[in-house]
A and B are shown apart, each in its own frame.
Chain A
Amino acid sequence: MKILVVDDSLAMRMIVIKTLREAGFGGHDISQAEDGVKGLASVKEDKPDLILCDWNMPNMTGPELLEALNTEGISTTFGFVTTEGTDAMRDKATELGARFVITKPFTPECFRAELGQYLA
């Protein structure tokens, strides 16, 4: 399966990808994008099965990317991986159709438990 990691921080993309590997998902095809605009292009080109996306990013934020996907009728499983998870953010994520919000810091166990259902 294909996983797309979208985050403007290279360090954070490295951590998310390392955690995916530690959680046993290293065998999947993992790609990355550094903002929502590049994420959207990557979704259209690579058609990932799961998108793990940061909230705040330049050019196009995570919620804006999810809105754009909704507008284009792309229903790829989408979840946020964010530094801060306020109630307002969770409400917005739910409203937009995100499947989960994972708040950093996270563990391989957390990834395994929560993402396993989408990566079987």
Chain B
Amino acid sequence: MAPLAVQSTIPERPEVMPQFRSVKSYWDAQHGRHTVRILPGEYYVSTGDEIITTLLGSCVSACIRDPQTGMGGMNHFLLPESCDDRAVVGSRARYGTYAMEHLINVLLANGGRRERLEVKLFGGSRIMKNATDVGERNIAFIRDYLRTENIPVLKEDLGGTHPRKVLYFAASGRVLIKKLPLSENTQISELESSYEQAIIKKPVAGDVDLF
């Protein structure tokens, strides 16, 4: 008997930009798309019909796309606990500013236009009852940042007490949100805390090259 031809129904992953080649993806059979999961402090921009997903507690994700180029991306950031100055120019708030700039720069460098950008915002929950409201601080920052940059917000789901799972369909801009049970808060809070500790320990400084 002739062997059955094995036919894969999974299409090839869309082209990945050089800076994201190390980012792994998986096939989401339910939604029929290659999917990239990002963690606190990461961002990703898709050139095609992929899903970008993340879990959010007090962190905020901005999902941004240019409908004309069809490229969309997501970041995931928080401002550290020690941030007493949430204005966009505050020393710790700069982590948020850099997270936004990284994402927007990739979109603009690939034909996007600032005035066409569609922004959707998610996260900023108050997931730990006794802690200071880190989520509120992150929300205040992102609103202040976008107001400064004169970029309108198309849609948002911010605040509350439940953590969220976000699925962003980068090519269309569609978003699916799942509010997770409060029992997930501890795990997400630990993930965000370890990221926060990492950025507190790391000084706010980049590299300088002199020629």
Least distance between B120 CB and chain A CB atoms (Å): 19
Asked if residues A101 and B204 are in contact (CB atoms below 8 Å), the reply is: no
Residues of chain A within 8 A (CB-CB) of B105 are 56, 83-84
Residues 86-110 (chain A) with a chain B CB within 8 angstroms: 90, 93-94, 98-107, 109-110
Residues of chain A within 8 A (CB-CB) of B89 are 11, 14-15, 18
In the complex, residue of chain A having the shortest beta-carbon distance to the beta carbon of B104: A9
9 new A-B contacts, CB < 8 A, other than A85-B206, A103-B207, are A10-B150, A14-B89, A58-B113, A85-B209, A104-B206, A105-B204, A106-B204, A110-B205, A114-B210
Least distance between A98 CB and chain B CB atoms (Å): 7
Interface residues of A (CB under 8 A from B): 8-12, 14-15, 18, 56, 58, 83-85, 90, 93-94, 98-107, 109-110, 113-114
Bound form: Cα–Cα A109–B89 in Å: 16
B61-69, B94-102, B171-179 - interface stretch: B94-102
Q: List 8 A-B contacts (CB under 8 A).
A: A10-B148, A11-B149, A12-B101, A56-B109, A83-B98, A83-B105, A105-B205, A110-B208
Least distance between B203 CB and chain A CB atoms (Å): 7
Residues of chain B within 8 A (CB-CB) of A114 are 208, 210
Residues of chain A within 8 A (CB-CB) of B108 are 8, 56, 58
Residues 107-151 (chain B) with a chain A CB within 8 angstroms: 108-109, 113-114, 145, 148-150
Bound form: Cα–Cα A104–B105 in Å: 13
Asked if residues A100 and B209 are in contact (CB atoms below 8 Å), the reply is: yes
Size of the chain B interface, CB-CB below 8 angstroms: 29
Least distance between A114 CB and chain B CB atoms (Å): 5
Residues of chain B within 8 A (CB-CB) of A105 are 94-95, 98, 204-206
Bound form: Cα–Cα A11–B207 in Å: 20
The verdict on A102 contacting B206 (CB below 8 Å), with A9-B149, A12-B101, A83-B98 known, is: yes
Bound form: Cα–Cα A16–B210 in Å: 18
Residues of chain A within 8 A (CB-CB) of B205 are 105-107, 109-110
In the complex, residue of chain A having the shortest beta-carbon distance to the beta carbon of B150: A10
Provide the B190-211 mask, 1 if CB < 8 A to any CB of A, else 0: 0000000000000111111111
Asked if residues B208 and A83 are in contact (CB atoms below 8 Å), the reply is: no
Least distance between A107 CB and chain B CB atoms (Å): 5
Residues of chain A within 8 A (CB-CB) of B98 are 83, 104-105
The verdict on A83 contacting B102 (CB below 8 Å), with A15-B94, A58-B113, A106-B206 known, is: yes
Residues of chain B within 8 A (CB-CB) of A101 are 208-209, 211
Least distance between A23 CB and chain B CB atoms (Å): 13
Least distance between B149 CB and chain A CB atoms (Å): 6
Bound form: Cα–Cα A14–B88 in Å: 8
Asked if residues A94 and B208 are in contact (CB atoms below 8 Å), the reply is: no
Least distance between A111 CB and chain B CB atoms (Å): 9
